[in-house]
């Protein structure tokens, strides 16, 4: 069985230096093929000599890496990568500046082909304490710190009092801290960090679950399609016997709002319909 692909999230508040860290990672991959997911290509400063192909929402690099913009759904973008022909050594997501990177990192348990590798939070040494005290954004900043498996304390050259800042971080976070300017930190230290999943126990913050269902009798097609369109269902797959075609096996694949149903050949009377759903809560009632 192929080893699962590590899934890392780079988070941090607006202007902390997340994109700077990504640019350095893409320039020095140490032989690894990264798939980097970003909200916008505009901020990336990729050396033109590295770009092998630029097409729409994807930039392919000569070093085997690829950058993809996140479309309507991060889940769909990740699954599209996994289902594609190219194999990657690592998937990295740049979270938006106001996102909870811990919740995004839990996508690492969404598919057996992924493994949660950790959360790197970039912190602006010059203003993180001020941001944390701001009643409008303070909760977001502190939540990001608490989600970190590693903190990259950036712009230390601009900090007024590093001793006070270190004390602040030790109060609000438990992650180790790398200090530097312009996010100049060794890339090898950014990976293999996950402290929450290392024990094999599920993370308390993990909101994703899977459910398996089976039916001995044929299933109503319209009722099943309604279930698959539920907003809480992220992915579904299975072999189903529908009432309107009881002699055929129907192969069901669903990602987000996209549902594909293909013919899988004759139905065997010894089979039962089987369906697995991945989502945030059980949604399937009686069909």
Kind and range of the H or E run holding 118: strand 114-124
Calculate mean pLDDT across residues 98-116: 86
Assign residue 268 the CATH number of its domain.
Answer: 3.30.1220.10
The total number of structural domains that make up the chain: 2
- Higher-scoring residue by pLDDT: 205, 131: 131
* Residue 172 covered by a domain: yes
Among 190, 219, 237, give the residue marking a domain's end.
190
| Pairing of β 150-154 and β 177-179 | parallel
Whether residue 195 is contained in a domain is answered as: no
> CATH number of the domain that 140 lies in?
3.40.50.300
Report which listed range, 108-117, 188-197, 224-233, is most confident: 108-117
pLDDT value at 207 more than 50 = no
Taking the mean position of all CA atoms in its chain, how far away is CA 139?
22
Range list of H helices, the chain: 18-27, 74-83, 101-105, 128-133, 138-147, 162-172, 221-228
Question: Whole domain around residue 267: which residue ranges?
Answer: 209-279
Q: Does residue 96 sit in the same domain as residue 170?
A: yes
| Domain shared by 178 and 41, yes or no | yes
> Global pTM?
0.70
pLDDT at 151: 93
Say yes or no: 177 and 253 in one domain: no
Whether 9 contacts 104, CB under 8 Å: yes
User: Looking at 2-11, 128-137, 193-202, which range is the least confident one?
Assistant: 193-202
Residue 200 forms part of a structural domain: no
Q: Mind listing the pLDDT tens digit for each residue in 125-134?
A: 999 999 999 9
Q: What 3-state class would DSSP assign to 253? A: strand
Q: Stretch 250-260: mean pLDDT, rounded?
A: 81
Q: Is residue 77 part of a domain?
A: yes
Same domain, residue pair 142 and 34: yes
29 plus 108 within the same structural domain: yes
Residue 133 within any structural domain of the chain: yes
Does pLDDT of 208 surpass 60?
A: no
Last-in-domain residue among 163, 190, 217? 190
Residue where a domain stops, chosen among 162, 190, 218: 190
Residues 77 and 136 in one domain: yes
What's the average model confidence in pLDDT over 108-119? Answer: 85
Q: Is residue 196 part of a domain?
A: no
**What's the start-to-end Cα distance of the chain, in Å?**
34
Residue 285: inside a domain, yes or no? no
Regarding whether 113 and 154 lie in a shared domain, the answer is: yes
Q: Same domain, yes or no, for 159 and 273?
A: no
Is 184 in the same domain as 273? Answer: no
pLDDT in tens, 24-63: 888 888 788 999 998 776 667 665 666 767 667 888 888 8
**Pair 238, 134 in one domain:** no
Pair (221, 182) in one structural domain:
no
Give the chain's mean pLDDT: 83
Whether residues 275 and 149 share a domain: the answer is: no
Please determine, for residue 9, whether its predicted confidence score (pLDDT) is greater than 70.
yes
Residue 271 placed within a domain: yes
């Amino acid at each position: 069985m192929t080893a699962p692909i590590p899934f890392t999230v780079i988070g941090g508040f607006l202007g902390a230096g997340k994109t700077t860290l990504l640019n350095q990672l893409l320039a020095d991959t140490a032989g690894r093929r990264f798939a980097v997911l970003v909200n916008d290509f505009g901020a990336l400063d990729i050396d033109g000599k590295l770009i092998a192909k630029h097409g729409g929402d994807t930039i392919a690099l000569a070093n085997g890496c690829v950058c993809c913009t996140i479309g309507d759904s991060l889940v769909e973008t990740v699954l599209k990568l996994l289902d594609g022909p190219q194999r990657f050594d690592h998937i990295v997501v740049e979270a938006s500046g106001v996102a909870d990177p811990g919740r995004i990192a839990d996508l690492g348990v969404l598919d057996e082909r992924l493994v949660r590798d950790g959360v790197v939070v970039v912190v602006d040494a010059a203003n993180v304490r001020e941001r944390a005290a701001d009643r409008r954004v303070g909760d977001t900043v502190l939540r990001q710190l608490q989600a970190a498996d590693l903190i990259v304390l950036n712009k230390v050259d601009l900090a007024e009092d590093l001793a006070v800042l270190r004390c602040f971080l030790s109060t609000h976070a438990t992650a180790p801290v790398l200090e530097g300017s312009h996010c100049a930190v060794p890339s090898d230290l950014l990976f293999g960090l996950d402290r929450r999943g290392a024990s094999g126990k599920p993370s308390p913050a993990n909101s994703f679950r899977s459910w398996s269902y089976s039916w001995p009798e044929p299933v109503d097609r319209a009722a099943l399609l309604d279930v698959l369109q539920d907003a809480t269902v992220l992915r579904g797959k299975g072999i189903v016997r529908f009432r309107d075609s009881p002699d055929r096996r129907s192969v069901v694949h669903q990602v987000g709002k996209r549902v594909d149903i293909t013919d899988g050949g004759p139905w065997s009377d010894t089979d039962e319909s089987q369906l697995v759903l991945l989502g945030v809560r059980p949604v399937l009632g009686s069909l």
